[in-house]
Structure 1
Amino acid sequence: MTVSNDIAYAEELDAQDSCAHFRGRFLIEDEDLIYMDGNSLGRLPYESLSLSNDLVRQQWGSRLIRSWNEGWFTAPERIGAKIASLIGAQPDEVIVADSTSVNLFKLAVAALRFQAGRTQILTDDLNFPSDLYILQGAIDMLDKQHQLRVIPSADGIYGPVEELRARLNEQTALLTLSHTVFKSGYMYDMAALTEAAHTAGALVLWDLSHSVGSVPVDLNAANADLAIGCTYKYLNGGPGAPAFLYIRRDLQERLINPLTGWMGQQNLFGFDLKYEPATGLRRFLTGTPPVVSLSLIEPGVDLLREAGIEQLRAKSLRQSSYLIDLWKAELEPLGFTLKSPREQECRGSHVSLGHAEGLRIDLALINDMRVLPDFRAPDNIRLGITPLYTTYRDIHQTVQRLKQIVVERIYERYPTEAPIVT
């Protein structure tokens, strides 16, 4: 891409953007606020506003308990089937339930029990820390019969692919990784690593939280076993919205949900005292779903399906390349480092920039420059590109304001202590 530092060039790119009209489908009350954190919390679709009123006033207020038979009960499968179309899965291979962490626990324990005799879990140090906490807890619950092997990345950006391949062996029960790494945005070759794990007899569990809705994913083509993901980032499902899980169809009847509950019971209104798992993915449900937050996932998923993930990915790559070109021209001379892959084929939809004063620069962006990014220790300023609503002008202005913060030393106004949420 030929880059120009001129704001007029960014506006020209926006004028040529075939996805630009989707921005008008979101609530944007302050056009002067630049939002670069859709990789943490997506914007609010207008359709979610009208749906929330209908959910509370009509479905709950007027229809009351009758609404369970008018769409509530089947929502986990219905919305799961729509998400499946974004990640290359069959409609009956994805269901919405619980949180990402709870789903990881359920699938990891199910996989480890299925892989009896194998004692190792393999992951990397780029994985989301919460995933590691869940795996540690699963090992404790299973009487410490397994070992967690965490393979380090050489540079904190790229996944340690060759080392992971070398560590796969007859003792590996489960390989579990973030498909797109939360700090650097590095994206694994799902098909290649899944095949390597299967050759060693291991199952694979992918965390799609930073992939779903931002990059094309094809679980079936990769013959992936298991996956989880959240819905409040690129899917724009709302803060703390329920997550989803994927189980390849041929594994569904062979895995056992460790958190058995009445929503996963074969005849849940028979109220038998003995648990009998439902057929298919419903066996991996546990308790009553949070209907309001669950239902509000659907409008964001519908928007992505309407736009088309391939078209959105093409825009995301153009925008991230534009951002990296601006970094090279404007920010690298000021001490900013690129902490995301340059290669498009292994870069997700956010770009991380490092700086020795990263935290204070982030605080200055938020409080003085009307830009909302996020910060990940020790020095990562993450700039999320959400092609449904991020503009080239947003990217240009963010870079210019980063430059101003450093040139004018505005960051010196801020302490080195991090706030609770960064």
Structure 2
Amino acid sequence: MNRFKQDFPILDQQVNGKSLVYLDSSATSQKPFQVIEAVEEYYKQYNSNVHRGVHTLGTKATDGYEGAREKVRRFINAASTKEIIFTRGTTTALNLVAISYARTNLKEGDEIVLSPSEHHSNLIPWQQAAKATGATLKYFELEPDGTLDIEKAKAVITPNTKLVAIAHVSNVLGTVFPVKELAQLVHQQGGVIVIDGAQSVPHMKVDVREIDCDFLAFSGHKMVGPTGIGVLYGKEALLEKMEPIEFGGEMIDHVDLYESTWKELPWKFEGGTPIIAGAIGLGAAIDYLESIGMDTIEEHDRQLAAYAVEELQKVEGLEIYGPLKNRTGLVTFNIDNVHPHDVATVLDAEGIAVRAGHHCAQPLMRWLNVTATARASFYLYNDEEDIQQLVKGLQKVKEYFGNVFG
């Protein structure tokens, strides 16, 4: 995979006098020339609004925007482009479902089931939906290594379970949750399942029809695409019954002084001027990822994560969180007696970018019995040399704080 590193111009630089080692792709991925140039071409050559104009630039912009929707449909194997809603990102997509679907369909006595490892974006919207409807929040029990036992999950999902919301991959633990099996369980009880795909769609082939999920949310910026663009996939039958939550131009069919009607799917959920450049950039990102192959990317990320676990276990006083095997491309850890923010600061001095904090998963931090952790996350442009540089950087962390407090 080393040959792909040269596609990412930002990686060819020094930080604090050291060659940049970027290990924060779970927060946001870097962008290849192909994506940057696609966005630049739109602004330079056919910048125009979509759907409204009949002039040449407007037609080309519309073709680019709707062409990107078809690329997304194919990428996740949705049945129709009607099922692909462009949003600002995963957070917006999840909130759309929580407001438009959950608040309309749930009532007192119904249950919403989550995992304690959820990102705040897949937790707070359901807290608010429960408060608004009288529904009850329930949680799966995690195993000590942060995995989910599907047999135990069966006992949590009942006839009162109307909605399950869960990340496909934990942004802290790297755990790959059994979403296909969970979908079968919740459907047997007549409920729906919402999947946060922010950490899975960039790293593995996700087929919404194979999983049989009802909703899937993900972001472009985590899959080498632009910031500010995301996707909500929803089954057409469910989206048809849902009301939009933003109103204005683009999403209307007919407007009178006292009543209005909406456009058909998917446009009824895309009020206002849409994220045109972002969608075109996302389409270019999908082209780029598909040129490599999602199976290739998944295998690379898993192998690199396994190598990182192996090497980091050699660092004395370092604790790794989550499963040691069957994880995607990230490793979250702490070093004895060193705050993760201090770990990240020393690593930054060595040109190594990692994330430190609670990772928008405070309930999970409490489950781990820590206040914060450090996280190194990998993607197709990382290699074993990057892991070796991380290990060397962590040894410097230990040396520095050993000298300070020793």
| Distance in 2, Cα, partners of 1:176 & 1:59 | 40
Q: Give the counterpart of 1:395 among 382, 387, 393.
A: 387
| Distance in 2, Cα, partners of 1:138 & 1:75 | 36
Deviations 1:130-172 (A, max 9, x none): 32222233344x4x42222244535472246544432211221
| Distance in 2, Cα, partners of 1:53 & 1:285 | 23
Q: Give the counterpart of 2:90 among 77, 95, 100.
A: 100
Tell me by how many angstroms 1:299 deviates: 2.3
Q: Name the CA shift for 1:107/1:284 in 2 (closer, same or farther; >3 Å).
A: same
Q: Give the counterpart of 1:369 among 340, 344, 350.
A: 350
Per the normalisation by structure 2, the TM-score is: 0.84
| Distance in 1, Cα, partners of 2:45 & 2:66 | 22
SS of corresponding position for 2:163: strand
Q: Give the counterpart of 1:226 among 209, 215, 218.
A: 215
| Distance in 2, Cα, partners of 1:392 & 1:191 | 32
Maintained 8 Å contact 1:86/1:309: no
Tell me by how many angstroms 1:118 deviates: 6.0
Per the normalisation by structure 1, the TM-score is: 0.81
1:86 corresponds to which residue? 75
Maintained 8 Å contact 2:246/2:271: yes
Q: Name the CA shift for 1:386/1:412 in 2 (closer, same or farther; >3 Å).
A: farther
1:292 corresponds to which residue? 277
Q: Name the CA shift for 1:194/1:361 in 2 (closer, same or farther; >3 Å).
A: same
Tell me by how many angstroms 1:339 deviates: 1.0
| Distance in 1, Cα, partners of 2:48 & 2:115 | 48
2:164 corresponds to which residue? 175
| Distance in 1, Cα, partners of 2:240 & 2:34 | 36
2:202 corresponds to which residue? 213
- Of stretches 286-295 and 403-412 in structure 1, the one that deviates more from structure 2 is 403-412
1:9 corresponds to which residue? none
Deviations 1:92-126 (A, max 9, x none): 23232233222212212333224567622111211
Q: Name the CA shift for 1:94/1:237 in 2 (closer, same or farther; >3 Å).
A: same
1:304 corresponds to which residue? 289
Supply the AA of the counterpart residue of 1:298: G
| Distance in 1, Cα, partners of 2:56 & 2:334 | 50
% same residue: 17
| Distance in 2, Cα, partners of 1:212 & 1:411 | 43
1:318 aligns with 2:303: yes
Deviations 1:182-213 (A, max 9, x none): 11111111110100111111100001001112
Tell me by how many angstroms 1:410 deviates: 7.3
| Distance in 2, Cα, partners of 1:54 & 1:286 | 25
1:111 corresponds to which residue? 101
Maintained 8 Å contact 2:49/2:58: no
1:237 aligns with 2:251: no
| Distance in 1, Cα, partners of 2:268 & 2:287 | 26
Maintained 8 Å contact 1:123/1:150: yes
**Root-mean-square deviation over aligned CA pairs:** 2.8
Q: Name the CA shift for 1:217/1:411 in 2 (closer, same or farther; >3 Å).
A: farther
Maintained 8 Å contact 1:106/1:259: no
Q: Give the counterpart of 1:199 among 157, 173, 188.
A: 188
Supply the AA of the counterpart residue of 1:342: L
Supply the AA of the counterpart residue of 1:364: V
| Distance in 2, Cα, partners of 1:151 & 1:23 | 39
Maintained 8 Å contact 1:264/1:278: yes
Deviations 1:56-115 (A, max 9, x none): 332238999646732434555432332333334335232322332222122123332245
| Distance in 2, Cα, partners of 1:101 & 1:194 | 21
| Distance in 2, Cα, partners of 1:207 & 1:336 | 29
Supply the AA of the counterpart residue of 2:298: R
Q: Name the CA shift for 1:287/1:136 in 2 (closer, same or farther; >3 Å).
A: farther
1:30 corresponds to which residue? 13
Deviations 1:14-58 (A, max 9, x none): xxxxx3322222113316110011121111211233333323332
- Of stretches 158-167 and 319-328 in structure 1, the one that deviates more from structure 2 is 158-167
| Distance in 2, Cα, partners of 1:301 & 1:309 | 10
1:122 aligns with 2:113: yes
Maintained 8 Å contact 2:226/2:278: yes
Q: What are structure 2's unaligned runs of at least 5 residues?
A: 359-370
| Distance in 2, Cα, partners of 1:53 & 1:279 | 31
| Distance in 2, Cα, partners of 1:222 & 1:48 | 29
| Distance in 1, Cα, partners of 2:49 & 2:275 | 18
Supply the AA of the counterpart residue of 1:318: Q
